[in-house]
Amino acid sequence: MTVPVALLGSAAVVLMPDIAPDTAILSLAGEGYLPVVIGGLLLGGALAFIITTGSSFLLSGAGNVVYDVVQRMLGRDLGEQGRLRVHRLAVLGIAAIAYVLGRFFPTVLELQLYSYTVYGVALAPPVLAIFFWPRATRWGALASMTLAVVVTITWEQLGRPGDVHSVLVSLPLTLLTLVVVSLLTPGSRDDDLDRVDAAPGSAEGGAR
């Protein structure tokens, strides 16, 4: 799929030099540069791609809300119907938030760049800490991710004071928060492993 997408994008830049990047390929079909059949297939494929991508992200995010937030963090024991109800509400909530966020960005590409900045700064330090720093704790990771999101969004909304990219501000603060909060909170990794080993369904738990 990469080759035809690259060819279509290059053709769009040549035929329409002033086209917006995120509408380049679709404009080939909509502006009559392609035969009707090929243009219709291109628009249909783009629509299917948008729907499947959006629904996948909504279902994945809602699953995180159900299992990671409601059941693990809040400790709520939900039955099958309860999980289904919370999952549906989470899908609606995430879709509403996504729509509101989309209204503040002129193009999808700008929104993607913005979200990738927040995503990278918030997740990279905790993920690396899992592999390279055993002292990192759950609360340290949560605190660093929360601060990364708040600082990055705030810095971007302020217009990048001094023309400094938000990553250069939020990443050091995220690392510092991860280290400080982890050192101030007790480690829980060994306890979690003990609980997994002692679970009735585990091999070691059954042996015990």
Note whether 110 and 100 are within 8 A (CB).
no
- Residue 78 class from Cβ within 10 Å (0-12 exposed, 13-18 middle, 19+ buried)? middle
Residue 71 pLDDT exceeds 80:
yes
- Among 19-33, 48-62, 104-118, 190-204, name the most confident range: 48-62
| Cα 158–chain centre separation | 23
Residue 9 is predicted with a pLDDT of 80
Q: Which residues contact residue 181 at a Cβ distance below 8 angstroms, ignoring those fewer than 6 apart?
A: 137, 139, 140, 143, 144
- Predicted TM-score (pTM) of the model is 0.57
Residue 21 burial (CB count, 10 A): 13
Residue 88 pLDDT exceeds 70:
yes
pLDDT tens-digit map of 134-162: 888 888 998 999 999 899 888 888 888 88
Question: H helices of the chain, where?
Answer: 2-15, 24-30, 36-64, 80-102, 108-132, 138-157, 166-184, 189-197, 203-207
